[in-house]
Structure 1
Amino acid sequence: MSTPSFEKIDTEENKKLYELQQKQRYNERKIREWKRRRDVKEAAGLDTTKEKAKVREWNKRNKELISSDPRLKRKSK
């Protein structure tokens, strides 16, 4: 008999990590959405103050979420 070559996966811990990752992805989608809005308004020559503030707000939320758990990593291009 050989020993199993895999570790037991803690399903609760795995579920928590999945939830955190989903929150991070949501934040990243919102950042992209507000950046698109900002870019469209800039191209039209309109005021982008609100959009820039929202990008900063979502970036801050995402940074706080990532720093709250060492298993989360920031996705870069």
Structure 2
Amino acid sequence: MLAEVARARAAGLAGAAQELAALPPGDQAVRSAYTARLPELVREVMAAAVVCDRAAGLTWEDIGEWLELHPDTARSRYGTPGKR
């Protein structure tokens, strides 16, 4: 289930990037709107991936190492309130 959520978020990001790439030249307002949405989609993919990694048994130390973050920073950024 968790992996499906992560895949769905990644597919949404990929779809937005493809739509952005397919926009005709000169359509800056639409291009800017799509581009503005990309960072939020990336955050959603990252959060879903971390949830999957935690469910698979990775520690905050493992996740922090992969993300080049201190484990406490990874936990505070991606942990579930009350389960951090």
Instruction: Quote the residue 2:51 is aligned against.
Output: 68
Give the structure with the higher percent helix. 2
The runs of at least 4 consecutive aligned structure 1 residues that moved more than 3 Å come to none
Larger Rg over CA atoms = 1
Instruction: Quote the Cα distance in structure 2 between the aligned partners of 1:26 and 1:69.
Output: 13
* Alignment of 1:53 onto 2:36: yes
Normalising to structure 1: TM-score of the pair? 0.58
Normalising to structure 2: TM-score of the pair? 0.54
Instruction: Quote the Cα distance in structure 1 between the aligned partners of 2:17 and 2:50.
Output: 23
* Alignment of 1:33 onto 2:15: yes
Aligned-residue offset at 1:37: 1.2
Deviations 1:20-77 (CA, angstroms, capped at 9, x unpaired): 0000110111011100111122x422121111122211110110122234239xxxxx
How large is the Cα RMSD of the aligned pairs? 1.9
Q: Which runs of 5+ in 2 are unaligned?
A: 59-84
Q: Which has the higher contact order (CA 8 A, sep 6+)?
A: 1
* Alignment of 1:23 onto 2:5: yes
Q: How many residues align?
A: 53
